[in-house]
């Protein structure tokens, strides 16, 4: 991940622009849920999710970056959070995430880093419970010099891989969708 993107991910100003608790409320994350943070980075959603799901819930924080995963591990240990499972795995594989247990999953500014979006969404489908939800928030690639995704393309893939899109919004630079397995 580039220096500019890494700086944004770690910026304290990010919380002013995006409230992680608002995002988690929007997707209906609650106590005792199992949450999957795909491309967790430094834990922007991971730590708020751990607070929401509580001691009886689980947060799976997955990423391919050893550096980011070490940051998440150290912070979880410092905070005494035993409900965060840190896994080094690609978004296409989701190794270590059990099948049919995830209540909510999110790709927060990470889907454009997944090399095979179709495979990732298919794999995720096998991890979700029947009433699970997946949330995507990603840059619009055509508006950020190709750094992002094409929302129409991803919506088509969602439908082709067994999801029903139940919410969609396209902004100037970013888009978001909420989908459920069918």
Taking only the tens place, the pLDDT of each residue in 152-168 is 999 999 999 999 999 99
Which pLDDT score is estimated for 15?
Answer: 55
Neighbours of 103 (CB within 10 A): 21
Enumerate the domain spans of the chain. Answer: 3-181
Q: How far apart are CA 19 and CA 17, in angstroms?
A: 7
Q: Which residues contact 19 (CB under 8 A, 6 or more apart)?
A: none
Rounded Cα gap, residues 109 and 18, in angstroms: 12
Contacts of residue 27, defined as CB under 8 A and 6 or more positions apart, other chains included, come to 104, 106, 133, 135, 178
Judged against a pLDDT cut of 90, whether residue 77 lies above it is answered with yes
Note the helical H segments in the chain: 3-9, 14-17, 20-26, 46-53, 66-79, 117-127, 151-160
Q: What is residue 17's predicted lDDT score, i.e. its pLDDT?
A: 66
d(CA 103, CA 127): 9
User: Which CATH code for domain 3-181?
Assistant: 3.40.50.150
14-70 tens-digit pLDDT? 555 679 999 999 999 999 999 999 999 999 999 999 999 999 999 999 999 999 999
Within 10 angstroms of residue 67's Cβ, the number of other Cβ atoms is 11
CA nearest to 102, candidates 81, 131, 76: 131
pTM: 0.91
92 is written with which tokens? 């296409």
């Amino acid at each position: 991940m580039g220096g500019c993107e890494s700086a944004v991910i770690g910026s304290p100003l990010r919380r002013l622009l995006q409230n992680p608790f608002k995002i988690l409320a929007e997707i209906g994350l609650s106590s005792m849920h199992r949450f999957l943070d795909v491309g967790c980075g430094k834990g922007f959603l991971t730590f708020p999710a751990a607070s929401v799901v509580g001691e009886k819930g689980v947060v799976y924080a997955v990423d391919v970056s050893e550096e980011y995963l070490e940051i998440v591990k150290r912070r979880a240990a410092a905070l005494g959070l035993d409900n965060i499972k840190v896994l080094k795995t690609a978004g296409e594989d989701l190794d270590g995430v059990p099948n049919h247990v995830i209540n909510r999953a999110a790709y927060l500014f990470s889907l454009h880093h997944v090399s095979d979006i179709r495979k990732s969404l298919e794999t995720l489908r096998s991890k979700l419970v029947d009433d699970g939800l997946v949330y995507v928030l990603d840059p619009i690639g055509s508006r950020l010099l190709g750094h992002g995704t094409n929302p129409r393309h991803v919506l088509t893939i969602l439908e082709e891989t067994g999801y029903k899109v139940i919410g969609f919004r396209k902004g100037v630079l970013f888009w978001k969708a909420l989908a459920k397995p069918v």
